[in-house]
Chain A
């Protein structure tokens, strides 16, 4: 036909392999670059790295659109000093020397006088092992990342129960599971591995069950959908447990060997250890050994724990924890008929789901051969598969009952023997890692000195709380106080409000990174902006100094005094470290790097490099040599040369002489080795160590060998939680410190050592506000740091409020109409769209589409700023007043922000051109202002 297109174009002249940063997945990417029009390399195309353990070549929409994030016109160019008022967005550009001097001039006096007056919170940081180390060296107790918004219920619920959790710490066994239960709203986490797994599982004929009020995304491909009422997942799960227990459809052998269900509990009601594990002379919990019928330590050689054991001693009967489990969950309170009304799932459907679990777990489960030895010295010829996998999303995490709901799911997993069994839920190194292998929290601040230990940890009991003599909180966010005893990720959502109120004390400097607190990263953006602009009696800001680091002109930039401009993810060094939130898979330990595949060409520095340099300027221990000279030039230098413990550093690969892995001294060529290897390192779990990792001597020895921990640490799953029971004992007045009088009854209920469910509805105003209101981010934007992208905004540029047909009929609403949405805390007016595949008592929208006018390099009339909206305007950090008191809108166990407990009512409103509330446009700080350069797209000869 005379048409001879060029069939062999080259989209770049070199492929550079690094790690994506468009969300928390951290996939390997092949970045195609070529010589640009102005010299230097430009990025032309991004695709998945086929060899990478996380994504095996695939890449999501965000990852491919990273190109446009990298070329965003909202990129900052140089450090900024505020010249207008906070919120105006007026800045002048300054040099890095000036910026670091200014920051040091604010921070040095704080450190010398009262280090807690720095609040340093790092948002969606992927370098927490480094940023926390900096904060510890500075000496402030006030450090955390954004987990208190996001994941702490999931993490703490998992770690306190199983020694590992969903999300980064474990994964479904995609290759052997036959039934997969997916709990909770959200399209993702972790993004590509779940999509890959769903494809694999369905490809094998496996069945997916979605338990989610909203049928989008993964729930759209679920074979079976349970459109549950929000906040009732725990109740549903306890009903499943009820049915399975009653039918004896549990793995009794597994429970006896690998959980603390056979552990004897102190039956003396007068004892200060009442219902804590009964211990032997060596302090180890006791079980009844089936071989002898006598008490024996849980981990004694050859011991065969009796699940149903009892011991009569000292005039008291001491029963195994399993007695408690059976007593609790066989009760009719958990019968399907008793919970169907509240959960919105008919009793027959609950029975069907329990039946499916029973069938998949027990009727057709293979025995997977493989030789291994357990920690009691018993040799096994393989593993009993229990091919029921489970996973939970934010919809479970972001409720005030989320911690106990996560525990309920883990109890269900353990009862059917599916944790670490083939086909079930598998830990990813460095997990499993029990509570006892984690640090306790620390908060003792001394002027001029580092903190006395790591900020965040896992309390074993009330004695580990961070409270003063008067019981008051030591941290600005009140983490690890009586209001949030197990706040393992801190409570970032409380920081600005508390700091502005001076409750529990004021601070001098707030420093934040990757946290858009003046907008969508805040539970309540209006109140966050108020806190940032509140003035004291002297006319000065109540939060005197705000330092913020971001790569883009986000809403938060306008509210800071000093901006440290970050690079894009293609211009920076990073390590995705085993010390942190690594990228491991169940069958391999892995870590990875980012490196500057292109140079920024702007006066920007990776925030971690800025911290290295600021740390040196402040003379922080670890950041300077003995003679006061900087210990590290930049973050890359730190990554390569820092040792956290002798021989263990941020990266595990190619240590020492380049031949050591896991353990070994620093290697000056280490980052080069990573680049040669495609940007990542892996070490495979040995064949006999793949399953039952907490109990498997082969796994424990391997983990010690590569430096995950220093001695084997086998343990039992804590179905009956001793740390929680210790808090109850404090509430009973049997243990010190004791909670305040008015907190005791509630604390006792909430810190139940067995999973429990409570209703969050009434506390959130359910009577007047009949609907649940949820948010989730679309897959094409999930967890993406840069909140705006020229390609992705064409897919999701606005976010209607999705409403069920019943609400539409009652209010006379049709697609495109506008509605007023009112919560106990505020009101918004927004466009609506009817959705049928939705729980009838729920409305929801896509989160973080709505933008403040002129933020993120968008025009003032961009749809994100006119029709887009944030549900956050309806949320408050505190619950509605009750009896003259206001409690935190958080999980009372962990402090997790309970933004999914929101209740609203919906009424038809006049059509509008602009969603309410309407906020003034922000001033635009100096930004690059350009988009993708024209000359960078293609080589001229590529034209056909």
Chain B
């Protein structure tokens, strides 16, 4: 068993806007690129050019179809990585203390030096957000780019997670969700951001912004299409009158 901190000074996390995520996987690969070269062991790629390529990723995009009761089927792109839960079951289940939640900023990390790769944390995480790297034999997960956000070797404007920096449609935001005045918190409030599977009691820090309603039938527009003419000559005459008023 590993203890969670009694509380955290900040709750750093991501806000992901499902209304504009186009499912391009830019965040997936930017994450792979940075984390392959930064925190902890590299993210291995087994059989990279063979029959069963299988690599470690800290962030993946899933695509679902949603069929509403009325109207056309929809496609939803759903990026998913560690949600940095307040009550993180992956931490409490860890037998070695390798899995931890930082008191200063709430980031859930794996201390790879202490990780025995037993996989209990992956089993405990209801979101499937952890993967065991087969080459390094340790558990890998989103670090919220802890080695970018405090990295004074980077220009200040780059001190944000790689997935946020790269997202072309601006669907990913980073901030302190414990601070109601942060831009991230305000966005969550304004757009009715939600927790993923709140009934599990994990209290995720990351929030999702819901898609706006789609395919709404609008019937107030008909007056805009009221015919001014049925025949070409009628239209030409009407236009002459309109232009004459200019």
Contact = CB atoms under 8 A, between A and B. Distances in A.
B53 A793 contact: yes
Interface stretch (A2-10, A99-107, A727-735): A2-10
A749 B73 CA distance: 38
A322 B237 CA distance: 12
Contact of B76 (A2, A220, A861): A220
B39 A307 contact: no
A779 interface: yes
A795 B28 contact: yes
Contacts of A3: 100, 109, 111, 113-114
B75 to A, nearest CB: 4
A64 B162 CA distance: 10
Interface in B27-72: 28-30, 32-34, 36-40, 42, 45, 48-55, 57, 63, 65, 67, 72
Interface residues of A, number: 104
B201 to A, nearest CB: 23
A203 B212 CA distance: 11
Contacts of A373: none
A610 B215 CA distance: 54
B203 interface: no
A246 interface: yes
A244 B231 CA distance: 13
B38 A9 contact: yes
Contacts of A797: 53
Most chain A beta-carbon contacts within 10 A, residue among B33, B63, B246 = B33
A247 to B, nearest CB: 5
Nearest to B110: A3
Contact of A862 (B28, B50, B215): B50
Contacts of B42: 937-938
B167 interface: yes
A794 B45 contact: yes
B182 interface: no
Interface stretch (A116-124, A192-200, A620-628): A192-200
Contacts of A792: 29
A638 interface: no
Nearest to B53: A794
B80 interface: no
Interface in A839-876: 857-859, 861-863, 866
B8 interface: no
Interface stretch (A278-286, A291-299, A349-357): A349-357
Contacts of B170: 196, 199-200, 203
B232 A330 contact: yes
A928 to B, nearest CB: 12
A192 B168 contact: yes
B151 A61 contact: no
A221 B167 CA distance: 15
A47 B75 contact: no
A859 B219 CA distance: 57
A11 B38 contact: yes
B169 A198 contact: yes
Contacts of A186: none
A363 interface: yes
Nearest to B60: A795
Contacts of B97: 1
Nearest to A308: B236
Interface in B221-241: 221-222, 224-232, 235-236, 238-240
A779 B75 contact: no
B25 A795 contact: yes
Contacts of B77: 220
A59 interface: yes
A417 B162 CA distance: 41
Interface residues on B, range: 35 or more
B23 interface: yes
Contacts of B218: 352, 355-356
B19 A308 contact: no
A770 interface: no
Contacts of B32: 64, 791
Contacts of A838: 73
Contacts of B246: 253
B87 interface: no
Given A48-B166, A199-B169, A938 B37 contact: yes
Given A246-B227, A861-B51, A355 B222 contact: yes
A253 B238 CA distance: 13
A47 to B, nearest CB: 7
A495 interface: no
B151 A791 contact: no
Interface in A238-266: 243-249, 252-253, 256
A326 B228 CA distance: 13
B25 A794 contact: no
Nearest to A325: B232
A219 interface: yes
B225 A61 contact: no
A888 to B, nearest CB: 35
Interface in A206-234: 215-225, 227
A217 B20 CA distance: 10
Given A64-B30, A218-B22, A59 B166 contact: yes
Interface string B108-137: 010111100000000000000000000000
A386 to B, nearest CB: 15
A44 interface: yes
Given A59-B30, A322-B236, A780-B29, 7 more contacts: A7-B150, A58-B165, A58-B168, A215-B74, A351-B225, A352-B218, A358-B221
Interface of A: 1-3, 5-11, 44-48, 50, 55, 57-65, 67, 73, 187, 191-192, 195-196, 198-200, 202-203, 215-225, 227, 243-249, 252-253, 256, 290, 306-308, 322-323, 326-327, 330, 351-352, 354-356, 358-359, 362-363, 779-780, 790-795, 797, 835-838, 857-859, 861-863, 866, 931, 937-938, 942-944
22 contacts: A5-B40, A5-B109, A6-B147, A9-B151, A47-B33, A57-B166, A60-B166, A65-B33, A187-B24, A216-B63, A220-B63, A223-B215, A224-B214, A248-B239, A326-B235, A779-B24, A790-B45, A797-B53, A837-B75, A858-B49, A931-B49, A944-B113
Interface of B: 19-26, 28-30, 32-34, 36-40, 42, 45, 48-55, 57, 63, 65, 67, 72-77, 97, 100, 102, 109, 111-114, 146-147, 150-153, 157-158, 162, 165-171, 211-212, 214-219, 221-222, 224-232, 235-236, 238-240, 242-243, 246
Q: Which 10 A-B pairs have the closest CB atoms?
A: A355-B221, A195-B168, A836-B73, A199-B169, A220-B75, A199-B170, A248-B228, A790-B48, A837-B73, A326-B232
